[in-house]
Structure 1
Amino acid sequence: MNIDPRTVGARVRMRTPSLTPLEARVVNTITGRTDMDMTTSLREVAEDSGVSDAMIVKIAKKLGFNGFRDFREALVSYQQSDVASLHSEISPEDSSSDIVRKVFNTAVQAIEETMSILDMEAFDRASTLLHGARQRDFYGLGGSAQIARDVSHKFLRIGLRSAVFDDSHMMLMSAALLGPDDVVVSFSHSGATSAVIDATRLARQNGARTIALTNYNNAPITEIADVVLCSTAQGSPLLGENAAARIAQLNIMDAIFVSVAQRDFASAESQLARTMKSVDSKREK
């Protein structure tokens, strides 16, 4: 199986939540090895993980590979890539420059890997739906709501109005009023936030088109979304996945914003000039 090495880490991370706890532990053991090469045997990996050969093969297939050899080849190629080397754990002994370098590199890795797995057909469809929508409602809680607000702000700058809902009741009220000409964008890192899922499901039942932005391509929210856009990020004990994933998701939505604006560039440019002029008086001269 010939795949882009940059996508391997993302591919494994996105499918890990669908594994059993034992399978996830085995994956962490395998991916944590620094001595893996093309000669590493199935038996060696199985013994190191404390499971059978058959279990390793089963896990490799659940991760989307043809078998252990395919998984081994992909993992070795990924570990040798420039993208994989960007991430490193933060330790108590790190200096300020170490912290800055590691945090920035983790963000760069998230952006690089997200770009490598981005579904361009889904991207184009999301842009088309958002450009043609009568109403654009964005759903998200916590950090996801901050992404929604950033996108809504950008759209307003080019004259495309949208609404952000970060409360479970308000999301449901919004969803109850939507119809076939409307679009919902649901932001959920885990893709399993019940409040966001419930509102997205109701919006879809009422005919609205639904777009999900999540970190996992088999998360529950993907089952009720017309369009799925995935970010990916490697977590760490201190930062978690959310920090880097948020940056990747902001980049996805920045690209969506540009794509939407490009569809009616003259209008976007005109509206941008008007909105910029409206706040110009608030700047110190």
Structure 2
Amino acid sequence: MDRTRTDAPAANAEAGVLERIRHGANELSDAMSKVADQVLADPEAAARATIMDLAELSGTSPGTITRFCRHLGYDGYAALRVAIATETGRASARHETGWDVNIGQEIAPDDPLEQVLKQLITIDAAMLRDTVGTLDLDAVERVAARVAVARRVDVYGVGNSATVARELQMGFYRTGVAAWVWTEVHDALASAALLGEGDVALAVSHSGTTAETIEMLSEASSRGAFTVALTASPEAILAEVADVCLRSASRRTSHRADLLASRHSALLVADLVHIAVAQRRFPEAREALESRARAVGGHRPTREVRTGAG
């Protein structure tokens, strides 16, 4: 089976140390979780603190800090401090442009909309950067190569993930790929049962644990289709079912559900995949786009241009 995972080594600096701490929070012990929470709450302070300072701030011990560093792939606290300082230094440079917003802060009822807007764009921009740093482009290439020659493509997604699934299917459809989107489990299973060799099934799930989506992709896999998971959790069950896992980034916030906060990073991955497919099918994709434009051209309103005085 051509299984491609996007799991990066713990010490892969391209992923961003703060993003790796966020993403791996569920794997930490209670004591190391306290360290992670303290680092994420104030990364700049963590970069300045000694190991004793951080132990006191997090209510743990120097030994816990050392284990936390090794869990992330660093030899010791000095290396971790350098990584955090480098990342927060880049963030500080961005703050000089006027976007000095604390990603973790609450949005209060009386906050002005200008502040809310800056908060939202800061979070979304950070997740897009995290996605760029963690996405496996070789995996995207393999998925695009399969979709470009597929007999048909099924895209699955339920609940909030259906939004991304619809966008991905529409991207394929616009470029001439025979693609369907399924957001209801019975219809999806019926379609998956008709797939086979040469077909592609792509499932979208932020958590990677949605039972219906897992069932859909599993059915497609059992029929011989090439399967793909688009998820923020490459260690989840959905990724285990898939031949290829495409990872989008995620950041937990107090004012938006995880999926709503990460939808733009998932849409970025979806856009990249469908554009990579269009590149491989360039003549067919251009003809499909032109044919669509001609077909609907007569329904576009025209505006009369009046000349003369009056």
Check whether TM > 0.5.
yes
Deviation at 1:230, TM superposition (A): 1.1
Q: 2: CA distance between counterparts of 1:7 and 1:245?
A: 17
Q: 1:260 to 1:97 in 2, by over 3 A?
A: same
1:137 partner SS:
strand
Please say if residues 189 and 216 of structure 2, whose CA atoms lie closer than 8 Å, have aligned partners that are also in contact.
yes
Question: Gapped runs of 5+ residues in structure 1?
Answer: none
Please say if residues 31 and 75 of structure 1, whose CA atoms lie closer than 8 Å, have aligned partners that are also in contact.
no
1:172 match: 189
1:42 aligns with 2:51: yes
1:281 partner SS:
helix
What are the superposed Cα offsets for residues 46-68 of structure 1, whole Å, 9 maximum, x if unpaired? 23222233333333333444443
2:46 partner SS:
coil
Residue 50 of structure 2 aligns with an amino acid whose one-letter code is S
The TM-score, its normalising length taken from structure 1, stands at 0.89
1:239 match: 256
Cα RMSD, aligned residues only: 2.3
Residue 36 of structure 1 aligns with an amino acid whose one-letter code is A
Q: 1:177 to 1:228 in 2, by over 3 A?
A: same
Q: 1:61 to 1:164 in 2, by over 3 A?
A: farther
1:138 partner SS:
strand
Q: 2: CA distance between counterparts of 1:20 and 1:201?
A: 32
2:63 match: 54
Q: 1: CA distance between counterparts of 2:75 and 2:179?
A: 44
What are the superposed Cα offsets for residues 214-252 of structure 1, whole Å, 9 maximum, x if unpaired? 112322222222111111132211123322311111111
Deviation at 1:22, TM superposition (A): 5.0
2:24 match: 15
1:232 partner SS:
coil
1:94 match: 111
Deviation at 1:16, TM superposition (A): 1.7
1:72 match: 81
1:80 partner SS:
helix
Q: 1: CA distance between counterparts of 2:263 and 2:123?
A: 12
Deviation at 1:158, TM superposition (A): 1.5
Q: 1: CA distance between counterparts of 2:12 and 2:259?
A: 30
Please say if residues 151 and 178 of structure 2, whose CA atoms lie closer than 8 Å, have aligned partners that are also in contact.
no
What are the superposed Cα offsets for residues 185-216 of structure 1, whole Å, 9 maximum, x if unpaired? 11111111111112222322222111111112
Q: 1: CA distance between counterparts of 2:231 and 2:136?
A: 13
Return 57-66 or 215-224, whichever deviates more: 57-66
Note the 1:181-192 alignment, pairs <5 A. 181-192=198-209
2:237 match: 220
Q: 2: CA distance between counterparts of 1:59 and 1:159?
A: 49
Deviation at 1:91, TM superposition (A): 3.0
Pairs aligned (count) = 283
Q: 1:43 to 1:220 in 2, by over 3 A?
A: farther
Residue 182 of structure 2 aligns with an amino acid whose one-letter code is F
1:136 match: 153
Residue 3 of structure 1 aligns with an amino acid whose one-letter code is A
1:185 partner SS:
strand
Q: 1:204 to 1:28 in 2, by over 3 A?
A: same
Q: 1:204 to 1:65 in 2, by over 3 A?
A: farther
Question: Gapped runs of 5+ residues in structure 2?
Answer: 1-10, 303-310
The TM-score, its normalising length taken from structure 2, stands at 0.83
1:235 partner SS:
coil
Q: 1: CA distance between counterparts of 2:301 and 2:250?
A: 39
Q: 1:119 to 1:274 in 2, by over 3 A?
A: same
Q: 2: CA distance between counterparts of 1:115 and 1:240?
A: 22
1:276 partner SS:
helix
Please say if residues 130 and 183 of structure 1, whose CA atoms lie closer than 8 Å, have aligned partners that are also in contact.
yes
2:181 partner SS:
strand
Please say if residues 211 and 227 of structure 1, whose CA atoms lie closer than 8 Å, have aligned partners that are also in contact.
yes
Deviation at 1:86, TM superposition (A): 5.8
Residue 250 of structure 2 aligns with an amino acid whose one-letter code is A
Q: 1: CA distance between counterparts of 2:170 and 2:234?
A: 27
Q: 1:239 to 1:284 in 2, by over 3 A?
A: same
Q: 1: CA distance between counterparts of 2:201 and 2:75?
A: 36
Q: 1:275 aligns with which of 292, 295, 298?
A: 292
Q: 2: CA distance between counterparts of 1:161 and 1:106?
A: 35
Q: 1: CA distance between counterparts of 2:221 and 2:74?
A: 33
